[in-house]
Amino acid sequence: MRTIDRTHDAAATSWLASANTVGTDFPIQNLPFSVFRRAVSREALRGGVAIGGEVLDLAALGRTQCLDGLALQAARACAAPVLNDFFALGPAAWRTLRGALFDLLHEGAVARSPSNVEAVRDCLVPQSDVEHALPVRIGDYTDFYTSIHHARTISRLLSPNGEVPRNFQWVPTAYHGRVSSIGVAGQQFRRPYGQALRDGSSTPEYGPCRQLDYELELGIYVGAGNALGERIALSRAEDHVFGISLLNDWSARDIQAWEMAPLGPFHAKNFATTVSPWIVTMDALAPYRQPWSRPAADPQPLPYLESESHRAEGALDIRLEVSIETRRMRDARVPPEPMSRTTFHHHYWSIAQMVTHHTAGGCNLQPGDLLGSGTISGPEPAEAGALMELALAGRKPVQLGNGERRSFLEDGDAIFFRGWCEREGFRRIGFGVNHGMVLPALSEAEA
């Protein structure tokens, strides 16, 4: 587990005024990573770190005299168009660079090293001027199904006597997803086609999805990998996790219902997955740990997924919000409307347990691999992480403030995810925004 140190001091401020603004996602205590370039430019993509309203260009910083040793090696690894080589350096390099950036951006640096402050200032680019790309070259993507509240609601919606699969309480279940259709925030995608069995029919039909949905998830980025055949113990699992972003696992529910048996989702999931550009490091999240628990009446984890230290601080309190912007809202310049809020603390299986189980059979993870947490839903209806839950599979459409209703997503709808952590005695940090938009399906003539 990561430890709390000087970089989490709530009293720490930056010489960059925008980093000290109340409510900012990116104070000096955060320092999340992304890949960026100036918008509408031919600049090379490179790694950057968010600080207030700016991006600290790590490629430019690596050419200054502000860093040395392992911190300089790490910054230079971030000069590449993807962060895989940086991730492969491991936790010591991640932590060393983050600490060095904290010191360079700290208010105290003005007195200690004014020349360094000026050099760093020259490496800042306004966030309003940049565009982002996927932060890593994703070799593999695994999507988990690990929220008991989501699983129970979905099971009951599909069958009056529906129960979660028997293995759900014993194993963090998952499937391998499609990498080529993963996009960064701002992704726009066509409503997918697929087979679906409509009510009252005995024969499936092929056509555009009628029940398009979002799924509120976290994207978990693997840092240092493991060798083929080498299992990762629970006590070391988070040493292999660089950080977390927001992930939208768009889902075609009608297609999914028909194709799930016997091997799971295919067309229902492979058309788009959207991740936010910023990756909040596990080091930045250290203050927001909470005890991990399992109801006493439920099956307890098998020994390889259990430990006292994991019970003590294996959960993370990441607050999450879903909002919708319909075409009508956008045309009227009405801001997106919140639909639900929840927290990752409710999750049945933890990040460490997902990583450990992923490798329990000898699977080798690699730097830049992406894990989806599975839909994050809480015990209350208003904490649902999917529209299918909120609208009860279309039986009770969600009423929006402008008079519109939604059972499932319509063309032109945009979904926004926000995430943040806050705790008394520590600074609030955020994940930025993840958003994507549904476009109309291609016509038969266009296909």
Beta bridge partners of 437: 188, 414
d(Cα 308, Cα 377) in Å, to the nearest integer? 26
Beta pairing class for 429-439 and 187-190? parallel
Residue whose token pair is 């988070």 = 238
Q: How many residues does the chain have?
A: 447
Closest CA relative to residue 106, chosen from 93, 120, 95, 96: 120
Q: Which has the closest alpha carbon to 99: 354, 299, 332, 283? A: 283
- Residue 70: count other Cβ atoms within 10 Å of its Cβ: 15
For residue 409, give every residue at least 6 positions away whose Cβ sits within 8 Å of its Cβ, in sequence order, or none: 212, 213, 214, 387, 415, 438
Catalytic option among 106, 150, 310, 347: 150
Alpha-carbon distances, residue 155 vs 166, 169, 172, 209, 440 (angstroms): 12, 14, 17, 21, 29
Contact (Cβ atoms closer than 8 angstroms) between residue 399 and residue 150: no
Neighbours of 402 (CB within 10 A): 11
φ/ψ (deg, to 5) at 354: -65, -45
C-alpha to C-alpha distance for 390 and 383, rounded to whole angstroms: 8
Would you say 351 and 241 are in contact if contact means Cβ atoms under 8 Å apart? yes
Question: Does residue 150 have an active-site annotation?
Answer: yes
What span, in angstroms and rounded, lies between the C-alpha atoms of 129 and 82? 20
Burial of 400 (C-beta count, 10 Å sphere; 0-12/13-18/19+): middle
> For residues 155 and 278, what is the distance between their CA atoms, to the nearest angstrom?
33
Whose CA is closest to 241, among 301, 286, 180, 302?
Answer: 286
Q: Would you name the residues annotated as active-site residues?
A: 150
